[in-house]
Each structure stands twice: as C-alpha cells, then as structure tokens.
A and B are shown apart, each in its own frame.
Chain A
Amino acid sequence: AQSVTQLDSQVPVFEEAPVELRCNYSSSVSVYLFWYVQYPNQGLQLLLKYLSGSTLVKGINGFEAEFNKSQTSFHLRKPSVHISDTAEYFCAVSVSPGNTGKLIFGQGTTLQVKP
C-alpha cells in the first residue's frame, strides 16, 4: 500500500524568503506524484506533477519540486514567497498515470507567509 507523509504541519515564513515543504512517500511500486494547493473555502488546485522524465518539475506560481527516488521524497520549493501563497498544501501519490484510480494525500502543510 502507498502512503504519504508531510513532515511539517505548519511552516511560518516571512514574505520574500525561500520555502521548502517536505513530502515523503512509501510504495512498493512506481508512483506518480502531485502537489495541490487549497485556499480557504476552496477546492484543490494542481500546482505541479511528476509522471516521468526530469526529476525537477516546475509548476504554477513559481513553485518547483524535485523527485528523489532513493530518498522517496518530493519536496516543494519556492525561492521567494508572497503573502498570497498563504494556503494549505497537499502532497499526493497515485499508482496510475491515466487519471483513474485514487489519489492518496498527505495530511497537509499550512504555509503562513508573514509580512
């Protein structure tokens, strides 16, 4: 079975500082990895995904993530955050690239950007 662990429940950071949100996964088979963002009272928006190829993935809003198979990690980074990045961030895995089957989510990390 697959599982996802987001290592930090809350990450406070000052505006324009860099940030890293950590995600580790466990799986006995190949996985496909995703990061979603959830703003208050809204659904989930896809930030980026890793399916294959280059291990460095670039997404929307200046975010990027690096897939590390040996460490089973998929950490999300942004070099300079804005107040508007304050939100809940979820890492997720799937064993299917074809958009069927379930996504398994981590518990979420609250990013709090302070002025």
Chain B
Amino acid sequence: ETGVTQSPTHLIKTRGQQVTLRCSSQSGHNTVSWYQQALGQGPQFIFQYYREEENGRGNFPPRFSGLQFPNYSSELNVNALELDDSALYLCASSSAGAVGYGYTFGSGTRLTVV
C-alpha cells in the first residue's frame, strides 16, 4: 500500500508567476485535501476534492485552484504568486465515509516565492 506522494519536493518561483503542485493519493482513497503551512504555523485548509469536484474551501482567494482526476490524484494551482505564498503545501488523502480512518498526509512541497 503506497502512501501519499507529492511533487516536486521543493521549488522556487518568482513573484507573479504561476505554479502547479501535484499529489498522488494513497491507494483506495477518493478524497484529497490541500493545506498551506507557513513557517512556524499550523496547516491552514485550502480546499478539498471529492469525485473530481470541490467539496469545501477555506479562506483562500480564487487564484488558488485545484483539480482532481479520475484516478483521484490532484493538482493545486496558484496564479499570480505573492511573497506570502511561500510555505509548505501539504496534500492529505482520505476515504470518504470510512469513519474514523483518518487522513494520510504527504511530505509536502516547499514553495519559495522570491
């Protein structure tokens, strides 16, 4: 059973650019959530995808968008990058309806905006 895989592990972007982060869910999981963890802070919920549709969104602007594919993998896209977007981006997968099973987190993508 594979866990959650995120790519890339690190990247550096320039302010104003666009970035795409990728996440492969754990086998058997059909729900993907994305979190932003700024340095020294707890993770903040960005949004969740279930059956390829957004299923809840946190307090993030529309330039943060996502996709979920039929194989349950997911992408996080951020347009018009700002310096404050520098953070660790975590992906978590879960199985909707499997009460008590919990979320499995990936190791994250460290994004630095310069």
- The interface of chain A, by Cβ under 8 A from chain B, is 4, 34, 36, 41-46, 49, 51, 90, 92, 97-108
Produce 1/0 per residue, B91-107, CB < 8 A to A: 01011111111110111
**8 Å CB contact of A99 from B45, B97, B105, B108:** B97
Instruction: Sample 7 A-B pairs with CB under 8 A, ordered by A number.
Output: A43-B108, A97-B99, A98-B96, A100-B55, A100-B94, A100-B96, A101-B56
Q: How far is the CA of A42 from the CA of B90 in the complex (A)?
A: 10
Verify A100–B50 contact, CB threshold 8 A.
yes
**With contact pairs A34-B102, A51-B100 given, residues A100 and B56 touching in the complex (Cβ less than 8 Å):** yes
Interface contacts (Cβ under 8 Å), in number, total 73
Q: Which residues of chain B are near A42, meaning CB under 8 Å?
A: 107-108
Q: Which residues of chain B are near A4, meaning CB under 8 Å?
A: 42
Verify B97–A45 contact, CB threshold 8 A.
no
A42 to chain B, nearest CB (A): 5
Verify A99–B43 contact, CB threshold 8 A.
no
Verify A90–B43 contact, CB threshold 8 A.
yes
